[in-house]
């Protein structure tokens, strides 16, 4: 696995691969790799001739400077974790490589980015779409792999690729969970011991609520019950707990089409997000 930090070095490799007709897969990450990220790598390896994992903690998608400062940075152990996967390149650009002096472009996707994380973190998705567009172009990716853990992000990136005629096919991969159901996330490292024990309750509530809605319970009543249960358990604030269309993320009060239940809840100063399918 080559570690590359400079986009011109990366371009030399990807040009040669493209000329040889090889399919390039990309797995964009912010590092602090866990089994969720590695599942994307496994899928990419199975579908592509070449795989590039990118590691970039993108300052433009953080809406809180403290969150950016506290984001775990574990480059050396990330490289060790990737070693068994026979990835071709670990691309670790510097912020100055991504945003050189004079950088003035921002890409904004409307519609699917409204509400949920887009509502709770204004500007977040503009940061995501701008960096993802750059990474897909820099890596010349034919396919890029994103987790359903960040379901809204996956929909936003799909829209971006479609609207900008990018050649990259966007592929969603299932959420990988700890044994107790907690969705794996780099931010879980910041949970204290007691909070870590409580955190799986998010998935318990999501699963129970999804099942109740599937069995015909009133959506507003179930959402209110689950929100109250999370607050009573010690979560707070709860940024959102909502049922939305899986296809276009429109808010739903009846699950009359494939839907997803989304939550973002704070615990121990850490923002946990998760989502499950309904129907």
Residues annotated as catalytic are 37
Q: How many helices (H) and strands (E) does the chain have?
A: 11, 9
Supply the minimum distance, in Å, between the C-beta of residue 215 and ligand AMP.
27
Determine the 3-state secondary structure of 80 from DSSP: helix
Compare residues 39 and 130 and give the one whose CB is closer to ligand AMP: 39
Measure the CA dihedral 121/109/73/4, to 10°: -170
Per-residue contact flags (x/-) with ligand AMP for residues 10 to 29, judged by CB under 6 A: -------------------x
Determine the 3-state secondary structure of 184 from DSSP: coil
Compare residues 64 and 231 and give the one whose CB is closer to ligand AMP: 64
Interaction between residue 168 and ligand AMP (CB under 6 A):
no
Determine the Cα–Cα distance for residues 109 and 156; give it in Å rounded to an integer.
Answer: 7
Structural tokens at position 104: 């003035």
Measure the CA dihedral 213/219/221/224, to 10°: 100
Among 10, 14, 36, 244, binds ligand AMP (CB under 6 A): 36
Backbone φ and ψ of 226, nearest 5°: -65, -40
Determine the Cα–Cα distance for residues 275 and 279; give it in Å rounded to an integer.
Answer: 13
> Interacting stretch for ligand AMP, rule CB under 6 A, among 64-72, 77-85, 183-191, 245-253?
183-191
CB 260 within 8 A of CB 244: yes
The single residue listed with the structure tokens 């409307």 is 110
Supply the minimum distance, in Å, between the C-beta of residue 44 and ligand AMP.
11
Among 45, 124, 134, 149, binds ligand AMP (CB under 6 A): 149
Compare residues 145 and 222 and give the one whose CB is closer to ligand AMP: 145
Compare residues 201 and 255 and give the one whose CB is closer to ligand AMP: 201
> Interacting stretch for ligand AMP, rule CB under 6 A, among 10-18, 97-105, 107-115, 170-178?
170-178
Site residues (CB under 6 A) for ligand AMP? 29-30, 36-37, 39-40, 146-147, 149-150, 173, 175-176, 183-186
């Amino acid at each position: 696995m080559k570690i590359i930090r400079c986009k011109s070095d990366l371009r030399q490799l990807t040009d040669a691969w493209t000329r040889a007709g090889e399919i390039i897969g990309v797995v964009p990450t912010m590092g602090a790799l866990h089994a969720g990220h590695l599942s994307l790598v496994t899928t990419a390896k199975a579908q592509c001739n070449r795989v590039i994992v990118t590691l970039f903690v993108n300052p433009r998608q953080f809406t809180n400077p403290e969150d950016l400062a506290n984001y775990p940075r574990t480059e050396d152990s990330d490289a060790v974790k990737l070693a068994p996967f026979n990835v071709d390149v670990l691309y670790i650009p510097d912020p100055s490589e991504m945003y050189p002096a004079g950088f003035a472009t921002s890409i904004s996707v409307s519609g699917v980015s409204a509400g949920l994380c887009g509502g709770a973190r204004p500007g977040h998705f503009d940061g995501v779409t701008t960096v993802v567009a750059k990474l897909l172009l820099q890596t010349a990716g034919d396919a890029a792999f994103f987790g359903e853990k960040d379901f809204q992000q996956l929909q936003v990136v799909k829209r971006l690729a479609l609207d900008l005629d990018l050649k990259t096919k966007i592929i969603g991969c299932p959420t990988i969970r700890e044994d107790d159901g907690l969705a794996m996330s780099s931010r879980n490292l910041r949970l204290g011991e007691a909070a870590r024990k409580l955190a799986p309750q998010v998935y318990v509530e999501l699963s129970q609520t999804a099942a109740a809605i599937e069995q015909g319970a009133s959506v507003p009543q179930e959402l209110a019950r689950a929100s109250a249960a999370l607050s009573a358990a010690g979560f707070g604030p709860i940024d959102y707990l909502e049922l939305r269309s899986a296809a276009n993320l429109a808010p739903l009060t009846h699950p009359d089409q494939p839907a997803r239940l989304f939550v973002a809840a704070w615990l121990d100063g850490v923002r946990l997000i998760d989502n499950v399918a309904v129907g």
